[in-house]
Amino acid sequence: MDAALDLVRAVAVLGPVALSTHGDVQQLAVQSLAAAGVPLTGRLDFAKGSTWILDVRRGEVAAARYVPSPA
């Protein structure tokens, strides 16, 4: 899971970016952030088509917010 979060940190220095991944990777990444104490907003869900918005500050994920699928 470190590789996925390393990618997030690496591209975040470029400014706002959009990344896409498989649901299992998304779930493991968010669970890893939660275990590290990163504050999560919204329900802990990984429904198809849903989104997690990650707030990256100084190269680290500072917060994460769940956005349900639009349909």
pLDDT at 25: 92
pLDDT at 58: 87
Q: What is the separation, in whole angstroms, between the first and last Cα of the chain?
A: 28
pLDDT at 1: 64
Q: Give me 8's structure tokens.
A: 């997030």
Question: What is the full per-residue pLDDT of the chain (71 aa) written as tens digits?
Answer: 688 889 988 998 888 888 999 989 999 999 999 999 999 999 999 999 999 999 999 888 999 999 999 87
- Decide if 49 contacts 23 (C-beta within 8 A): no
